[in-house]
Amino acid sequence: MASPMRSLLTDPARYLQSFRLFLEKSTEHQSMREFMEKQLPTLIASIGNGKSTINILSVGGGAGEIDLLILSKVQARYPGVTINNDVIEPSADQVLKYKERVAETSNLENIKFTWHEETAYEYESRMNAEKKSKKWDFIHMIQMLYYVKDIPATIRYFHSLLEAQAKLLIILVSGTSGWETLWKKYGSSFPLNDLCTYISSADLRRMLDSAGLKYQFYELPSHMDITSCFTEGNKDGELLLDFLTETREFSKTAPPELKRQVMEELKKPECSEKRDGKVLFNNNLGVIVIEP
């Protein structure tokens, strides 16, 4: 009998709903913001040296929350310099949110935004077809490598677009996170199909090492409150379970035994810790900064 389990990505509206709830219930953006405040200024200190224009490429820019923070740090380092910020983002809904956010933000006068409503692979194919290979001073891929078909090829391509002083910044879930435990154990039971691949910063580092690329690594502590997942029928809990398993309506469609095992796993110390009556899932992030 065919499994009724479907990838969450087959329902883009529900995916976005669960993703936004995840951001609300986790310290994901808080952790990234702290990194951008403390570490990013040093990392971008020489990307624009001697340049009148700085070119930045955001791959999977989402609704732009983190992008605008990155841009503010580049502006602080290179005041008055023109910045071209190109955004690759396949979700029309996210692009719309990004544009609204830009419209509501001040001090963006010297930044020119260009949105490409397409996937990273579509962008690469289009550039190759147009025989273009524009170089960039800073490229970032934040929490998006799960959605590309060929991860090493994608990294190779964007790495080839770096200028001499540029950096490629990638953020993924860490190899020490609850995601790693959950997905290494149950990933094969979830309906991933070809829309999503599980990869952690540990996997990525192995790829980069075998490709001989130089990089710096940072670990960011983060957690997500998944307490609601343990209340049967709780709407938020169901959405978070969907997000954790990348499965649409996981609690309704998963075989009972799989659901029982996943719920047990989520409570284990390898995945979560109990604090003040809450279950906090380990959402640690890995940041990898690749040299040209």
Binding-site residues for substrate: 28, 283
Binding-site entries = 28, 283
How many Å apart are CA 233 and CA 49, to the nearest integer? 56
How many Å apart are CA 211 and CA 165, to the nearest integer? 20
| Cβ count near 275 (within 10 Å) | 10
For residue 58, give the nearest of 26, 101, 17, 15 by alpha carbon.
Answer: 101
Three-class HEC string of the chain? CCCCCEEHHHCHHHHHHHHHHHHHHECHHHHHHHHHHHCHHHHCCCCCCCCCEEEEEEECCCCCHHHHHHHHHHHHHCCCCEEEEEEECCCHHHHHHHHHHHHCCCCCCCEEEEEECCCHHHHHHHHHHCCCCCCEEEEEEECCHHHCCCHHHHHHHHHCCEEEEEEEEEEEECCCCHHHHHHHHHHHHCCCCCCCCCCCHHHHHHHHHHHCCCEEEEEECCEEECHHHHCCCCHHHHHHHHHHHCEECHHHHCCHHHHHHHHHHHHCCCCEEEECCEEEEECCEEEEEECC
How many Å apart are CA 172 and CA 201, to the nearest integer? 6
